[in-house]
Amino acid sequence: MLRKIVLLAISLVVAGVLASCSALEGDGRHLTPLSGATKSRLAAMGSSPQAAMMIRIFKEESALEVWKQTAGGSYKLFQTYEICTWSGELGPKFYEGDRQAPEGFYTITPGLMNPNSNYYLAFNLGFPNRYDRTHGRTGSHLMVHGACSSAGCYAMEDEQIAEIYALARESFTGGNRSFEVQIFPFRMTPDNMAKHQSSEHIDFWNNIKQGYDYFEVASTPPAWDVCDGRYVFRQPSAVNATASMAGSCQAVVADPTIVSAFQARQSADAAAIQSAIVQLADAEAAAAEAEQRRLNAEAEMAARGEAINNAVDGFFGTLFSPLDALAPSQPETAPQGTPQG
């Protein structure tokens, strides 16, 4: 009888543990399949759920892009999602507790996926990466997650993170060992770069723009490393790329076609940035001149109004001054003690 009671108690404990695990895993939301519509859209663009993927995030635009690899090897934009909220301001994360969402290049492996997140679903960005550690930056639990609440993270609506999570899950199922997340302060256009030239982060942004430009010209995400404290980028299949980066810290190591296109884009953007800087300076000067003219006009009107008021006061003062002579005079009062006549 005692043995039965003990076995029953053990069974209840095991059942409780299993129930706790089930509760921890929630309702299996991390296993929610992609919709038929999503699969059809992937097929229409020449991709599949199991194909490789990449994510780009733009803070200023509050946009998260999912790119999928096509049968031809290049990547195409699958979907742009609006980021519900992100923490901090433009610029990289520096230290634990600064409530700043990071910027840079992050490699997401299956171990960084979090199906049990308190924020619906999530994946960890893996901050700090090698670049961050090189610069002594600290922080932990930097995520892309649901629940639309952020403290150093990128928060999505639950329905959005569910689809993004499923896309990543299926990509891993297809044999891909990781996917890349590229995080930028804004779309790295010449106009935006010119607008932010005075930022303390401009050198860092010029550096990560090289990775942005690589993807723009190659239509495939670069592999990245760190050399002399800077991001360096290479074609994943480039031969002796590591040795080349270690030797000279080239901006891009890739086949001649990609390097040529990259250099052409960099040169064109540099010229466009300088032109945009001049245009911004001219616009600011014109705005300052217009503001000064407005202030001068207001001052002139105020002075004119004051002069008119003074003239009116002077006119009426002169007009009524003769009446003072007609006012009855007051009898003189004899000094006290003086005899009266």
Burial of 327 (0-12, 13-18, 19+ CB in 10 A): exposed
Q: Give the up-direction half-sphere exposure of residue 224: CA atoms within 13 A in the CB hemisphere.
A: 27
Determine the 3-state secondary structure of 158 from DSSP.
Answer: helix
- Note if 145 is an active site residue: yes
Q: Does 84 qualify as catalytic in the annotation?
A: no
Asked if the peptide bond before residue 92 counts as cis, ω within 30 degrees of 0, the response is: no
Using CA atoms, how far apart are residues 130 and 47, in angstroms rounded to an integer? 31
From the candidates 30, 135, 148, 153, give the one annotated as an active-site residue.
153
CA angle 238, 248, 177 (to 5 degrees): 35
Helix axes 202-218, 256-320, angle to 10 degrees: 130
**Catalytic residue (choose from 145, 148, 196, 249):** 145
> Considering just the CA atoms, what is the radius of gyration of the chain in Å?
36
Paired tokens of 83: 């980021």
* Secondary structure string (H, E, C) spanning 190-235: HHHHHHCCCCCCHHHHHHHHHHHHHHHHHCCCCEEEEECCEEEEEC
> Is 120 in a helix, a strand, or coil?
coil
Listed in order, strand segments (DSSP E) in 199-341 are 223-227, 230-234, 252-253
Secondary element (H or E) of residue 319: helix 256-320
Q: Is 75 helix (H, G, I), strand (E, B) or coil?
A: strand
Which residue spans within the chain are E strands per DSSP? 53-58, 63-69, 75-82, 85-86, 104-108, 113-114, 122-124, 143-145, 154-155, 179-184, 223-227, 230-234, 252-253
3-state secondary structure of 239: coil
| Residue numbers annotated as active site | 145, 153
